[in-house]
């Protein structure tokens, strides 16, 4: 199911292929795919390598189950089409 989301996301034109991450969003922050809440902890753990900055890609139907778990997180949430569901915090340079 991860591959399904990733393929749709890459076809949207809002994400690009990455060697280090599942993909990169249009602002060059990493994307980690989590098709369900069962994979959410692993996805946020992977983003810890970059201070939590990045996006978690999931099915749009998961917005309401994911959002409460991401309230205090730096990561954003995007759907399978690359639409922004929750903005990510941008790291200071």
pLDDT digits (tens, 9 = 90+) for 33-84: 999 889 888 988 998 888 888 999 999 888 888 877 777 788 888 999 999 8
* Residue 24 forms part of a structural domain: yes
Q: How far apart are CA 15 and CA 17, in angstroms?
A: 7
* Residue 92 forms part of a structural domain: no
Domain, as residue range, for 69: 2-86
- End-to-end CA, the chain: 35
Quote the pLDDT of residue 79: 92
* Residue 91 forms part of a structural domain: no
* Residue 93 forms part of a structural domain: no
* Residue 44 forms part of a structural domain: yes
Q: How far apart are CA 32 and CA 23, in angstroms?
A: 7
């Amino acid at each position: 199911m991860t591959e399904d989301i990733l393929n749709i996301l890459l076809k949207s034109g809002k994400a690009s292929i990455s060697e280090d991450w599942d993909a990169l969003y249009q602002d060059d922050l990493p994307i980690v795919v989590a098709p369900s809440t069962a994979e959410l902890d692993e996805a946020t753990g992977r983003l810890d390598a970059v201070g939590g900055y990045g996006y978690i890609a999931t099915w749009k139907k998961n917005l309401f189950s994911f959002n409460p778990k991401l309230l205090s997180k730096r990561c954003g949430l995007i759907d399978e089409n690359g639409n922004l569901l929750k903005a990510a915090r941008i790291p200071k340079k």
